[in-house]
């Protein structure tokens, strides 16, 4: 007997696993490497069936298409955010220009009111 309680050993193992982080995401390069390794190490007397190979290639194709779609969506999001920012800046600039014109008109009206009031006096 090793002198270690099985519950303690299990607890220690759990603590060791607790700090690990696992990445379940598989990119297309890892998938392709796995497929090539599988093909290289298959039994020559009983090779992979056509259906299995076609299914794995279909999965690879789907994965690649989803990644391309994701990249396109990210690019579109960045582009839309840039356009929205420009539109917002243009709206602020036009509102500022309108306010400046209103202020200028207001000052002109005040100036003319003062002129008219001086002639009336």
Distance between CA atoms of residues 112 and 115, nearest Å: 5
Mark out the alpha helices in the chain (DSSP H runs). 6-18, 28-40, 50-120
Picking from 60, 65, 74, the residue whose alpha carbon sits closest to that of residue 29 is 60
CA distances, 66 to each of 35, 45, 53, 60, 63 (Å): 19, 35, 20, 10, 5
Residue holding tokens 């696992």? 22
What are 88-108's pLDDT values in tens digits? 888 888 888 888 899 999 999
Of 40-44, 63-67, 71-75, where does the model show the most confidence? 71-75
What are 20-53's pLDDT values in tens digits? 554 556 677 787 788 788 878 887 777 777 788 7
């Amino acid at each position: 007997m090793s002198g270690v309680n099985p519950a303690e050993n299990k607890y220690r193992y759990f603590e060791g696993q607790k700090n690990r982080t696992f990445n379940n995401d598989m990119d297309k390069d890892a998938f392709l490497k796995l497929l090539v390794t599988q093909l290289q190490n298959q039994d020559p007397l009983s090779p992979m069936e056509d259906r299995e190979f076609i299914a794995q290639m279909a999965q690879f194709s789907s994965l690649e298409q989803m990644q391309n779609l994701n990249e396109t969506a990210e690019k579109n999001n960045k582009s839309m955010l840039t356009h929205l920012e420009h539109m917002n800046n243009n709206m602020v600039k036009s509102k500022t220009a309108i306010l400046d014109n209103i202020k200028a008109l207001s000052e002109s009206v005040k100036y003319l009111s003062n002129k008219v009031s001086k002639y009336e006096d």
